[in-house]
Structure 1
Amino acid sequence: MASVHVATIEWVRDGADFADSAYARRHHWTFDGGAVIAASSSPHVVPVPMSDASAVDPEEAFVAALSSCHMLWFLDLARRGGFTVDRYADAATGTMGRTGEGAFWVAKVDLHPVTDWVGDGPDAAALRALHDAAHQACFIANSVRSEVVVHLD
């Protein structure tokens, strides 16, 4: 299954002084299906007003991509297992850390999925097995070195 996924990233200086780092980090992501997302550096990294806290930062997008991929696989595997999911929500979080060389990275992503079922859902062991299988199947999880933990509290 060879497929290509396209995102166009565009930033414009808009006349700001580039040399003194006072330029805005706000930019746009345009995806091949036409969706346009306002993006920026994280205000945890670059202070407002140079960053835009209302825009999506790359670290948030990374966490969202992992959570979304996991959910999509989970929904399909639950369907294949004869279960009907009525609602799925996840308050995913990413935690920054430093590598041994001192570089920052998203060291851990915690998923906290909550699922509402139509009729009987799986028991605790089967639920864990569905999430484990979703994690193993997720293309994004298979593409990263960050620890990804699924919490079923």
Structure 2
Amino acid sequence: MSERHDFHARIRWTGNRGEGTRRYTGYDRNWVIDTPGKPPVAASNDPRLGGDPALHNPEDLLLSALASCHMLWYLHLASNTGIIVMAYQDAPIGQAESEPDGSGSFRAVTLRPKIEVAAGTDLAKARALHAEIHRHCFIARSVNFPVTCEPEVTESRPRD
């Protein structure tokens, strides 16, 4: 039986320069994401659409959410199967397309995790866990574009 999970956030536009949206070029595309009990996140639109390049944009957040969900499930499955993960990092790439009318969508995301496992780990088994993750990951199961994974798994070297 499935169990419902509710997530809450508040999005608050902070880009009013004093005249609201009177002119398309007269306001900033900035906002704050407030999640109960957590620090606020300052965000903006993609710089190509008038956003602040120093702030996270929705595309950054979606890509990060996919990679983070994948990582958390990998760590969970690794722990359950006796694979000891020593380090994990990812540099995912999202491919999106824009249409002439300004609309757009993600076409694909490639996750590129680099995972360091304890010496003596079965590397093939550690790599194989990635194929199982999309059965579990809330975010990957919710998007309508392909999410692929190109993992690199290496054994931990003794530290000096």
Give the TM-score taking structure 2 as reference length. Answer: 0.83
Q: Using the alignment, how far apart are the partners of 1:122 and 1:149 within structure 2?
A: 22
* 1:15 is aligned to 2:12: no
Percent identical across equivalent pairs?
A: 33
Q: Using the alignment, how far apart are the partners of 1:92 and 1:52 within structure 2?
A: 21
Q: Which residue of 1 aligns with 2:149?
A: 150
Over the aligned positions, Cα root-mean-square deviation in angstroms equals: 2.0
- Report matched runs for 1:61-140 at 5 Å: 61-97=61-97, 103-124=103-124, 126-140=125-139
Q: Using the alignment, how far apart are the partners of 2:20 and 2:62 within structure 1?
A: 30
Query: Conserved in 2, the CA contact under 8 Å of 1:63 and 1:109?
Result: yes
The DSSP-based 3-state class of the residue aligned with 1:66 is: helix
Q: Which residue of 2 aligns with 1:24?
A: 28
How far apart are 1:60 and its partner, in Å? 0.6
Matched AA of 1:150: C
How far apart are 1:26 and its partner, in Å? 1.1
Query: Conserved in 2, the CA contact under 8 Å of 1:39 and 1:56?
Result: yes
Give the TM-score taking structure 1 as reference length. Answer: 0.87
Query: Conserved in 2, the CA contact under 8 Å of 1:63 and 1:92?
Result: yes
Q: How many pairs were matched up?
A: 147
Q: Using the alignment, how far apart are the partners of 1:136 and 1:152 within structure 2?
A: 17
How far apart are 1:57 and its partner, in Å? 0.3
**In the superposition, relative to structure 1, how do residues 41 and 137 fare at CA in structure 2: closer, same or farther (>3 Å)?**
same
Any unmatched runs of 5+ in structure 2?
A: 153-160
Q: Which residue of 1 aligns with 2:4?
A: 2
Q: Using the alignment, how far apart are the partners of 2:120 and 2:36 within structure 1?
A: 39
Q: Using the alignment, how far apart are the partners of 1:58 and 1:97 within structure 2?
A: 14
Q: Using the alignment, how far apart are the partners of 1:89 and 1:60 within structure 2?
A: 16
